[in-house]
Amino acid sequence: MIMKKNVIKTSVLSIALAAILATSVATTVKADDNVGNPVELKYISSKTQLPVYQLRLNNLTKGSYAIAIKDESGVVLYNETVAGTKVVRNYQFDSVLPEGAKLTFEVNDLTNNTSKVYNVSKTATVVEDVVVNEVK
């Protein structure tokens, strides 16, 4: 349990640093992109086993959002408040999460008092294909 808390504390500090470095500039998106879906969270890639998640706020009018990333027990690993239109943020942990770790991304629209919650879990599968071809 102590090791898990140390991993979580390290993750909190490292995700804060990674989020600041990775998202210091908001990306502008064309006005017609995903207007019907105001909040999107997607898995982008995993560089050296460190996953990168992208959060897009597809709002056309300026708004304020509270974003929180929590672990499976509800401990807040990272939180921030962002404001603007068409905000895009990338989040990456600086250390490998424990096997079977589950994350929750909560996005609260402070202007309209609405929220979206995303649960993220990772599973690994091994696929082995065996192909037999007749030569003659």
Task: Please list, in sequence order, all residues whose beta carbon lies within 8 angstroms of the beta carbon of residue 42, skipping any fewer than 6 positions away.
Answer: 53, 54, 56
Does residue 129 lie in a domain region? no
Q: Which residue has the tokens 């008092």?
A: 113
* Across 115-127, average pLDDT: 85
pLDDT band, residue 99 (cuts 50/70/90): confident
pLDDT at 14: 54
Does residue 96 lie in a domain region? yes
Does residue 134 lie in a domain region? no
Domain boundaries, position 36: 2-121
* Across 86-104, average pLDDT: 84
Q: Is the pTM of this model over 0.85?
A: no
CATH number, domain at 69?
2.60.40.1930
Q: How far apart are CA 131 and CA 6, in angstroms?
A: 46
Does residue 132 lie in a domain region? no
The count of structural domains within the chain is 1
pLDDT band, residue 69 (cuts 50/70/90): very high
